[in-house]
């Protein structure tokens, strides 16, 4: 199969697998990650084909969408066996997706440039205007309030257990994770994109607090 045909097949597979997802891993997230990954790959002289296919498949294995992590990874493995004859390429793609899935978006180091590119692209989608939208939608879906002036935005105790959605607010998540991602970028171009999005989130928070406190006094 030609590279372009494999990419088209991977698109269809990802669309079919992610179409119904409501956890922030829908097809449009994957499509953005795939475009950002291709852009960073070009700038960093990484293999665009490997980055594109790995980005397209990166959330198909997500444990939130599968009975288990292993079941998710098997699904991707079987797809690759059927569509990509080059064992080195499919092994590389599998290794990227495994590392991303076990790191849970955390600090697991990626061992190849292509893995670093795809991880950067995935992290970038949690930042900026899109990142702000995703954190609000995700919080709403999980029952996390947007903000509560009684809960300090930088509450340290919440940072360790931020997957317990019954605690804290959407605003807490900026300090728990989103504002830390800029310093975790792997590639120079990824970092450059992250800096712009990071700055936008800081302006958003500043404006948010300003509006929340506008006037200061209660009139009634
Ligand atoms: P990833 O697969 O990138 O690690 P997650 O499942 O952690 O993604 O997050 C998906 C989206 O939901 C992200 O944009 C993130 O900001 C948001 N999100 C994740 N955890 C929380 C949380 N505890 N509170 C609010 N938003 C969250
Ligand atoms: Ni993702």
DSSP one-letter string for 74-133: HHHHHHHHHH---HHHHHHHHHHHHHHHHHTTSSPPPSSHHHHHHHHHHHHTTSHHHHHH
Q: What is the pLDDT of residues 59-70, one digit of tens each?
A: 999 877 888 889
Architecture of domain 128-212: Up-down Bundle (1.20)
ipTM of the complex: 0.95
* Mutate which of 173, 197, 201, 204 for ligand 1 pocket (most atoms within 8 A of beta carbon): 173
CA of 101 to the centre of ligand 2 (A): 9
Global pTM value: 0.92
Q: Which residues of the chain have pLDDT under 70?
A: 23, 102-108, 158-164, 215-220
Domain with CATH 1.10.472.50 in the chain: 3-108
Ligand 1 pocket residues where CB is under 6 Å: 24, 104-105, 122, 126, 131, 134-135, 138-139, 144, 162-163, 165, 170, 173, 178
Domain with CATH 1.20.58.1910 in the chain: 128-212
Q: What is the pLDDT of residues 81-99, one digit of tens each?
A: 999 999 999 999 999 999 9
Ligand nearest to the backbone CA of 170: 1
Question: In the CATH scheme, what is the homologous superfamily, with its name and number, of domain 3-108?
Answer: HD-domain/PDEase-like (1.10.472.50)
């Amino acid at each position: 199969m030609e590279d372009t045909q494999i990419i088209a097949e991977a698109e269809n597979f990802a669309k079919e697998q992610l179409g119904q997802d409501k956890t922030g891993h829908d097809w449009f997230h994957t499509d953005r990650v795939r475009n950002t990954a291709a852009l960073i790959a070009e700038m960093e002289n990484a293999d665009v084909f490997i980055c594109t296919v790995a980005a397209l498949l990166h959330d198909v294995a997500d444990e939130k969408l599968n009975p288990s992590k292993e079941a998710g990874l098997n699904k991707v493995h079987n797809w690759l066996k059927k569509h990509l004859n080059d064992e080195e390429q499919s092994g590389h793609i599998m290794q990227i997706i495994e590392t991303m899935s076990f790191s849970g978006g955390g600090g697991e180091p990626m061992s190849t440039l292509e893995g670093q590119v795809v991880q950067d692209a995935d992290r970038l989608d949690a930042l900026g205007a899109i990142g702000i939208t995703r954190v609000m939608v995700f919080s709403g879906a999980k029952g996390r309030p947007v903000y509560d002036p009684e809960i300090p935005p930088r509450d340290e105790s919440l940072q360790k257990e931020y997957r317990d959605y019954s605690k804290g607010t959407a605003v807490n998540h900026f300090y728990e994770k989103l504002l830390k991602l800029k310093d975790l970028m792997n590639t120079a171009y990824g970092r450059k994109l992250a800096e712009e999005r990071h700055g936008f989130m800081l302006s958003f928070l500043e404006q948010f607090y300003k509006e929340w406190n506008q006037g200061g006094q209660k009139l009634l």
